Structure 1
Amino acid sequence: MQPLVFIDGDQGTTGLQIHERLRGRTDLRLLTLPEAERKDPARRAEAINACDIAILCLPDAAAREAAALVSNPAVRLIDASSAHRTDPQWVYGFAEMAPGQAERIAQAKRVSNPGCYPTGAVGLLRPLVQAGLLPPDHPLSIHAVSGYSGGGRAQVQAFEAAAPASRPPALQVYGLGLVHKHTPEIQQQAGLTARPAFVPAYGAFRQGIVLTVALHLRLLAPGTTAAALHQALSSHYAGRRHVEVLSPDQAQALLTLDPEALNGTNQLRLAVLGQASPDQVLLAAVFDNLGKGASGAAVQNLDLMLGLDAV
């Protein structure tokens, strides 16, 4: 029988995108509650315990409550919120993050989908830490710009309903107190022992992310070069169809980074920039915050858990 999938919170930005990605598939069934029942705790609990896999597209507190509703031991969960991303009882749902991670996701009962910004940061940093090229206590500053859909459905509606003259500024840097909720996730999943400084921003475009990390080579181990950093990333992601690492020639040819370049896909594009610089490099990630940064990763994890896909 086709597996039954329930999306709890399917009217939010991520839930709607997951629905769209699953639309028309014949290898699974979607369980959807009528509008009048979506906030009924009893009906939600019934739906969660009737499905094979539930995808939680909810605020953090509601996701914790939904997870607590599970009484059927056969039910498996994918949580798209940030509620469980540093919880050791949940498998982190970044399949390409480490050897064997896809297999751990495939066997897991509880999977926590990565955050959008952490997908780029962890994707860049963890392989370099593991390769010994980046000390885990290195002082890091991470800068990222996301489309305004990163703020959720309410922010999307507010931005798109506003008259041009009353729309927010074209760029809004936020998290100025350096206590963004994604920082602990980045630190833990990248294997860092020192908390990075993370500075996010929203741009006047709907979706997409560009994330960068600048490194001073003189502060790294002697002999560390842009070529060595590139090789570490390239080796780590070799054969991974959802992650691409630009070649040095491709990276050198870039004049700008387009945050919307991979919109509508589940791809993550990484690059080591500044190959000609003797003492500095720029690590860069481009991806869709609603794709590999949210719904795309959720569907990828769903397929792994159902045995329908491989990384």
Structure 2
Amino acid sequence: MSILTGSSILITGGTGSLGKALIAELLASGDVRRLVIFSRDELKQLEVRRMFNDDSRLRFFIGDIRDKDRLRRALHGIDYVIHAAALKQVDTAEYNPSEYVATNVEGSQNVIDASIDSGVKRVVALSTDKASSPINLYGATKLVADRLFISSNHYAAGYDTRFSVVRYGNVMGSRGSIVPAWRALAARGESLPITDKRMTRFWITLQQAVQFVLDALDNMTGGELYVPRIPSVRITDLAEAVAPGAAMHEIGIRPGEKLHEEMIAPDDSRRTLLLGSRYLVMPHIGGWGYETPSDGIPVEDGFAYHSNTNDQWLSVEELRDMVQRMS
């Protein structure tokens, strides 16, 4: 039996692409007693209510994670939290750094404090590949958030609340995906803009991301940073899969963008274990009773998980099949 059976779960930022996919999975499983969506946009909440036919298990809170008092009210009676709320656009962050700090860093600390105060049992925070060796402000704020959640297990040691983090790459079918934009351009016979034809990215489907998050929530003890073993894609292969034969032109890498992505840095290799289809990066200090998993295999010293040196790749044909299933 899943720990989620009969539980109350809150999702921050629950009206986004992943949030809606999580709602669909959790409601379909029949496990949850109550599912609370905490987000800022009333229109999106209305759309989600209609999408799920006003399911009686759904509750909606208008609120911002910058408001700790509102979080405390929303977390009353909540067993588990999935923290998905964040500002995420890389280029926008460079022009609005204080806003990203206020939401991604200070807002994350509010989620931590309110969860402890409210007696939440487990919190899983969503990270990004851009948080590993960050070169942009968005990635830097997410790295700080990751460390906040992991380290918060220290001062929550005398409480019931435990915190873990999941980190993965680009999500196919998410709201920020380039695929719909490329489709529209190809339909008009226009050339597809490519930032750099050498670029590679990690790639995960929306359903895979949902399952990875729920598995982490089910299996965590607190302090883990989970990274899935997922395939990489060449950006030119993705363009060919979306619009076969379409012309492509380079527009240059955007401010703060990497040519290749990283999910585990070399300096983290000494704390990284391979656990089947995922990696686990252990905390720097486990002073709350953290125990190293007995079934984990240590990776080689100096190991790094980069999208361009990955041992798993999606072909154009596999990508095309995935894109068609998204339609």
Using the size of structure 1 for normalisation, the TM-score is 0.41
Using the size of structure 2 for normalisation, the TM-score is 0.39
Higher relative contact order (CA 8 A, sep 6+): 1
